[in-house]
Amino acid sequence: MTKTLFLLSAALCLAVGCDKVPSGIPAVPDSELNVTLSGLWTPDATKATSGTAAENKVNNLTIYVFDADGMLDISHACTAAEIKAGKATVRTKTGAKTVCAAANLSDAVAAQAGGAFRLSDLAAVPYALSDNGPSSLTMWGVASGVNVASGAGGSVTVALARGVARVSLGSVRNALPAPFGPVQLKHAFLCNVVGNQNLGGDAEPDNAKYLNREARAGHVKARVIGTGSYAAECKNLTFQTLGEEVAVGKTASYTNKFFYGFPNALTTPNNGFHATFVPTATVLMVVATVRGVDYYYPVPLSGGLAANTEYKVDLTLAGLGNTVDEPFARIEKADLAATIQVSPWNTGAGISETI
């Protein structure tokens, strides 16, 4: 009878989603830890960098509590009500703790995270840009120095941050000489996008996993992205259709043309196609048609990309850009003026850099 009741209890635990304790390590949950999530639950609507509802969306959230030796005490999969409230209470052993929170993990990444019983192993869990979506951006937060006392328990606030950077196209101005006439904006996409990261955010970029390398599909010289059937990799994150016709002296403005990529510390600007890929700064490529010919305007984000940071790009087209033969060539400053505003996604004022 005891065995039957034990099996029934185990089945019920799986059905309702109990907290997870490492296998083989006895659980001693003798005090409560109150965890509050910050960063995305109180966005400042007065700042453009607060993030859209989609960018702030939390579809799943797991809290991990580690002891002073970096070993997992317990993990807690938050309920929908806890996610909505931005807080949860877990029972754990007393002592010094480090608390981590991970949101919007894909099934494959969540499975790897579920097998990590050390803090260092959890932070090192890898994921790809394709594990993100416009409304399911992977997020991570850590708080250390937390103390859980017997009886009194403990409390901690963990700030979640997105693992990607956001590049936004703010405007494109047609400053071409009058004889060229209107510009037909076609599309824009990110090139040389770092495609690998880990939950802790300190993975080294893998050259083989860069996306849209040198503006080509599969890094094949003849396959320029946006021509024929050659689509951008992670198109839902790296490519946007434009479509506006802009008369000479006029400007097309945007509030929703967003692109996403992992951090990239490189500052080297674009420098054409190479048979063996050469990593550079991430580049925003804007494609426009002038008098029936497509021209490519690459904007190197040469200040580097950081996680959870927005880079707003405003362009002025003063001359003809690159042709399809070599869209990734460096462009003369006289033909393209770009102002990049850099802002933390949730707080802070913009910093302008003109290239």
CATH of the domain at 182: 2.60.40
The pLDDT value given to residue 23 = 57
Q: State pTM to two decimals.
A: 0.87
The pLDDT value given to residue 337 = 80
Q: Which of 162, 184, 205 is the last residue of a domain?
A: 162
* Placement of tokens 């196609």 in the chain: 273
- When pLDDT is averaged across residues 271-299 and rounded to a whole number, the result is 96
Both 225 and 335 in a single domain? yes
Both 195 and 281 in a single domain? yes
Both 152 and 129 in a single domain? yes
| Res 47 pLDDT > 50 | no
- Domain holding 225, by residue range, is 165-354
For the chain, the farthest-separated pair of C-alpha atoms sits apart, in whole angstroms, at 91
Task: Provide the 3-class DSSP secondary structure of residue 335.
Answer: helix
Q: How confident is the model at residue 22 (pLDDT cuts 50, 70, 90)?
A: low
| Res 105 pLDDT > 90 | yes
Among 34-48, 210-224, 233-247, the range scoring the smallest mean pLDDT is 34-48
The pLDDT value given to residue 335 = 73
Q: Which of 116, 137, 162 is the last residue of a domain?
A: 162
Both 187 and 322 in a single domain? yes
Which secondary-structure segment (H or E) carries 12? helix 2-16
Per-residue model confidence as pLDDT tens digits over 143-193:
999 999 998 899 999 999 999 999 999 999 999 999 999 999 999 999 999
Which of the two residues, 24 and 242, has the higher pLDDT score?
242
- Residue 84 CB partners (closer than 8 Å, separation 6+): none
- When pLDDT is averaged across residues 298-307 and rounded to a whole number, the result is 92
Q: Which of 128, 143, 162 is the last residue of a domain?
A: 162
Contact 321, 185 (CB under 8 A): no
Residue 10 lies in a domain: no
Residue 1 lies in a domain: no
The pLDDT value given to residue 345 = 67
Residue 5 lies in a domain: no
Residue 24 lies in a domain: yes
Both 221 and 308 in a single domain? yes
Residue 355: name the closest of 329, 336, 327 by CA: 336
Which of the two residues, 46 and 323, has the higher pLDDT score?
323
Per-residue model confidence as pLDDT tens digits over 241-284:
999 999 999 999 999 999 999 999 999 999 999 999 999 999 99
Supply the mean pLDDT for the chain: 87
Residue 2 lies in a domain: no
Both 145 and 59 in a single domain? yes
Residue 12 lies in a domain: no
Residue 334 lies in a domain: yes
Both 128 and 275 in a single domain? no
The pLDDT value given to residue 53 = 85
Both 216 and 146 in a single domain? no
Residue 236 lies in a domain: yes
User: Which range is most confident: 7-11, 325-329, 338-342?
Assistant: 325-329
Query: How many domains are contained in the chain?
Result: 2
Both 140 and 249 in a single domain? no
**∠ at Cα 165 (144, 255), nearest 5°?**
130
Both 179 and 312 in a single domain? yes
Strand 161-162 to strand 293-300: parallel, antiparallel, or no bridges (unpaired)? unpaired
The pLDDT value given to residue 8 = 35
Both 190 and 48 in a single domain? no
The pLDDT value given to residue 52 = 85
| Res 42 pLDDT > 90 | no
Among 40-49, 75-84, 180-189, 257-266, the range scoring the smallest mean pLDDT is 40-49
| Res 5 pLDDT > 70 | no
What is d(CA 154, CA 217) in angstroms, rounded to the nearest whole number?
51
Share of the chain above pLDDT 70, in %: 85
Both 152 and 231 in a single domain? no
Residue 97 belongs to a domain with what CATH number?
2.60.40.2580
Share of the chain above pLDDT 90, in %: 76
